[in-house]
């Protein structure tokens, strides 16, 4: 293995380790029962109490942080592979494709969680569009995420990634025991279902 391949392999392992942590964080964020109770109570009374407000902002700050981490992986993989997935040839390129698909599927899953479960009502949407200086959250974050999730160009890219995963299943399954990406390959059916 030459120096360039060693560097790429080390970078891939680092990205896989980071993605493992982000995947766990996504699962943690999906435990929203308490947040949903707070939202329900706030909507019933017409305002968020300070405690409800803080819990919602803390959850949303974590959500945005995890989302940013996933985007960094998607962007990194996109930079390394380019946009033409049909040109993938080497084992490391296939491994990168698995990481990129995993991160993209988790992004869709998170955005659907926010739009479809957490911020289903106008008061919560308005709240999440406010700025929260304490958590360094700028205004209009809910709108930005909603628009990203429903943008036809983004939907097309996600569908292309889904088709890529399904049409290349045999090649991807060859990586099922890979130390860096095997666990993500084993999760492909679950990840595809997220989309």
> Whole-angstrom distance between the N-terminal and C-terminal Cα of the chain?
36
Residue 70 reports pLDDT greater than 90? yes
Closest listed residue to residue 57, CA positions, set 144, 148, 118: 118
Residues ≥6 apart with Cβ < 8 Å to 13: 180
Work out the average pLDDT over 99-111. 96
DSSP 97-128: HHHHHHHHHHHHHHHHHIIIIIT-SHHHHHHH
Residue 1 reports pLDDT greater than 70? no
* Whole-structure pTM value: 0.93
The first and second tokens of residue 105, run together, are: 């599927």
- The vertex-70 CA angle with 56 and 129, nearest 5°, equals 35
> Which region among 26-30, 130-134, 162-166 has the lowest average model confidence (pLDDT)?
162-166
How high is the mean pLDDT of the chain? 92
Residue 127 reports pLDDT greater than 80? yes
Residue 3 reports pLDDT greater than 80? no
The reported pLDDT for the residue numbered 63 is 98
Question: In the chain, where are the structural domains located?
Answer: 3-194
The first and second tokens of residue 21, run together, are: 């942590």
DSSP 52-94: HHHHHHHHHHHHHHHHHHHHHHHHHHHHHH-S-GGG--SHHHH
Work out the average pLDDT over 5-22. 88
The reported pLDDT for the residue numbered 89 is 82
Work out the average pLDDT over 101-125. 96
pLDDT category of residue 88 using cuts at 50, 70 and 90: confident
């Amino acid at each position: 293995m030459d120096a360039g391949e060693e560097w790429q392999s080390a970078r891939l392992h680092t990205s896989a380790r980071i993605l493992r942590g982000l995947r766990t964080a996504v699962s943690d964020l999906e435990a929203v029962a308490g947040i949903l109770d707070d939202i329900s109570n706030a909507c019933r009374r017409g305002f968020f109490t300070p405690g409800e407000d803080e819990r919602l902002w803390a959850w949303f700050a974590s959500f945005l942080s995890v989302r940013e981490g996933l985007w960094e992986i998607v962007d990194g993989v996109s930079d390394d592979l380019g946009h033409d997935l049909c040109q993938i040839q080497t084992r490391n390129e296939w491994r990168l494709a698995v990481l990129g698909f995993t991160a993209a599927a988790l992004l869709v899953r998170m955005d659907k969680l926010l739009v479809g479960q957490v911020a289903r009502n106008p008061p919560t949407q308005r709240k999440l569009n406010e700025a929260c200086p304490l958590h360094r959250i700028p205004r209009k974050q809910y709108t930005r995420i909603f628009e990203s999730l429903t943008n036809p160009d983004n939907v097309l890219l996600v569908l292309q990634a889904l088709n890529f995963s399904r049409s290349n299943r045999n090649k991807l399954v060859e990586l099922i025991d890979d130390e860096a990406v095997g666990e993500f390959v084993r999760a492909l059916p679950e990840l595809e279902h997220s989309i």
